[in-house]
Chains A and B, each alone.
Chain A
Amino acid sequence: NAGVTQTPKFQVLKTGQSMTLQCAQDMNHEYMSWYRQDPGMGLRLIHYSVGAGITDQGEVPNGYNVSRSTTEDFPLRLLSAAPSQTSVYFCASSSWTSGGRGTQYFGPGTRLLVL
């Protein structure tokens, strides 16, 4: 049971380049989300999904795109990287049942540097 995995661990991009951050979970969780962590600002929600085929925007969605074709995977795409997107990105997942919304489990993070 690997939990939540993220790749790559670290990435350097040039301004204007695009890339996809990968996230996968093996806990059969319905809910998945992406956060970014910046110094002094705490984690902020980018996009989230409550199931395959369903996605929605969080607090800071601009410049990012997501899709959810399977329960396990929730990739985050940077369309045209900007220096302001330099951050640490975390993927999280949790159960989403009528009985309650459970503990959120986080991946190890992807450190992104945009030059």
Chain B
Amino acid sequence: KQEVTQIPAALSVPEGENLVLNCSFTDSAIYNLQWFRQDPGKGLTSLLLIQSSQREQTSGRLNASLDKSSGRSTLYIAASQPGDSATYLCAASQTGANNLFFGTGTRLTVIP
């Protein structure tokens, strides 16, 4: 069974800092990896999706990388802003299905 781990569980940074969130997975036979943002009491908003054949994806200040061989993905946030404060979840989907295996998330706080 795929196990997805996110470290750290919580992170606090001053505004303007660049930061990296980490995600690791145990089974490299993934179809894609998706990063989500979740605000308190809300649903999940998709940020980036990386197909297994890709190495990275970028959207604005966000850049996600994928290294299947080492079972790792990172989400890089440039020039962090207080509005980036949220919980960030990564999820891996297995080949043959679109079912997602989620990590428990990193709660990010950006201090003004």
Instruction: Please list the residues of chain A having a beta carbon within 8 angstroms of any beta carbon in chain B.
Output: 31, 33, 35, 40-45, 48, 50, 58, 90, 92, 94, 96, 100-109
Contact = CB atoms under 8 A, between A and B. Distances in A.
B44 A106 contact: yes
B24 interface: no
A98 B14 CA distance: 44
Interface in B70-100: 89, 91, 93, 97-100
Contacts of B45: 106
Contacts of B28: none
A33 B99 contact: yes
A75 to B, nearest CB: 18
Interface residues of B, number: 23
Contacts of B32: 100-101
B43 A42 contact: no
Contacts of B31: 101
SS class, residues of chain B in contact with chain A: strand
Contacts of A105: 46
Interface string B13-39: 000000000000000000110101000
Interface of B: 4, 31-32, 34, 36, 42-46, 49, 51, 89, 91, 93, 97-100, 102-105
Contacts of A94: 98
B9 to A, nearest CB: 9
Contact of B43 (A31, A33, A90): A90
Contacts of B91: 43, 104
A83 B52 CA distance: 39
A43 B102 contact: yes
B102 A103 contact: no
Contact of A43 (B42, B49, B89, B93): B89
